[in-house]
Amino acid sequence: MLPGQTTNVVIDSGYRAPGPLKVAPGQVITLFVRPSSIRLTSGIAASSAPLPATLGGFSVTLRQTFSPPVAVPIISINPIGTCPAVSVAPVCSYLAAITVQIPFELMPNAERSRLPENFASLTVAENNVDGDPLQLNAVASNLHIVTSCDSTLLTLSPPCVSLVKKSDGSVVTPKFPALPGDTVTISLYGLGRAAPAVKTGELPTDSSSLVPETKMGLRFGTNPAAPEADSDPDAAFLSTDSVGLYSVSFKVPEVPKDTPACSEAIASNFSVTIARGASSESVSLCVRTPDQK
- pLDDT value for 223: 55
Which residues does the chain have with pLDDT short of 70? Answer: 1-12, 82-91, 222-228, 293
Q: Residues near 3 by Cβ (< 8 Å), separated by ≥ 6?
A: none
Q: How far is CA 35 from CA 61, 84, 133, 152, in A?
A: 16, 20, 14, 19
Whole-prediction pTM = 0.90
- pLDDT value for 2: 44
- pLDDT value for 1: 40
Shared fold status for 21-138 and 141-293: yes
What share of the chain has pLDDT > 90, as a percent? 66
- pLDDT value for 41: 87
Pick the CATH number of 141-293 from 2.60.40, 1.10.3470, 1.20.1070, 1.10.760: 2.60.40
pLDDT 10s digits, 56-79: 999 999 999 989 999 999 999 999
- pLDDT value for 7: 53
The CATH architecture that domain 21-138 belongs to is: Sandwich (2.60)
- pLDDT value for 3: 47
Measured in degrees and rounded to the nearest 5, phi and psi for residue 91 equal -105, 110
pLDDT 10s digits, 1-32: 444 445 555 666 778 878 899 999 999 999 99
Give domain limits for the chain.
21-138, 141-293
Contact assessment for residue 185 and residue 192, using Cβ atoms and an 8 Å cutoff: no
